[in-house]
């Protein structure tokens, strides 16, 4: 068996074990207001980290290019409370124009 398969099967077993253990957590811990607040913020933090990494890195190195301009325009549109469609389209158009100009 290849080392990759050992890693895949081991990771799968760990994921299954964690999900199985999740059912044994008492409900009082899951309905705690602090835990509910943390669980609400975790996806936001993970998505923000993903956007940050995908925007300013390429092959493990820092890069400033058209993606950063697109994110900047999206942030401006969000601060102006633009609809989601407008935010995405304006960021995509900005990135495309900057890529074409480069």
Which of 72, 69, 66 is closest to 102 using CA atoms? 66
**In a shared domain, residues 58 and 83:** yes
**In a shared domain, residues 21 and 36:** no
Residues of the chain above pLDDT 90, percent: 80
**In a shared domain, residues 37 and 24:** no
**In a shared domain, residues 24 and 47:** no
Domain extent at residue 27: 1-31
**In a shared domain, residues 65 and 95:** yes
Q: Strand pairing partners for 20?
A: none
**In a shared domain, residues 38 and 77:** yes
The answer on pLDDT for 96 being more than 90 is: yes
Q: What is the C-alpha to C-alpha distance for residues 42 and 37, in angstroms, rounded to an integer?
A: 9
Percentages helix, strand, coil for the chain (3-state, rounded to 5) are 80, 5, 20
Counted residue by residue, the chain has a size of: 102
The answer on pLDDT for 65 being more than 80 is: yes
Query: What pLDDT score was predicted for residue 80?
Result: 97
> Are 67 and 98 a contacting pair, CB within 8 Å?
no
């Amino acid at each position: 068996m290849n080392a990759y398969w050992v890693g895949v099967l081991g990771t799968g077993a760990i994921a299954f074990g964690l999900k199985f253990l999740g059912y044994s957590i008492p409900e009082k811990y899951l309905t705690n207001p602090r835990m509910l607040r943390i669980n609400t913020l975790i996806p936001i933090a993970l998505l923000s980290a993903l956007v940050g990494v995908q925007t300013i890195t390429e092959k493990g190195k820092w890069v400033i290019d058209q993606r950063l301009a697109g994110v900047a325009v999206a942030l401006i549109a969000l601060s102006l409370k633009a609809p989601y469609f407008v935010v995405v389209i304006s960021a995509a158009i900005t990135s495309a124009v900057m890529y074409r100009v480069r």
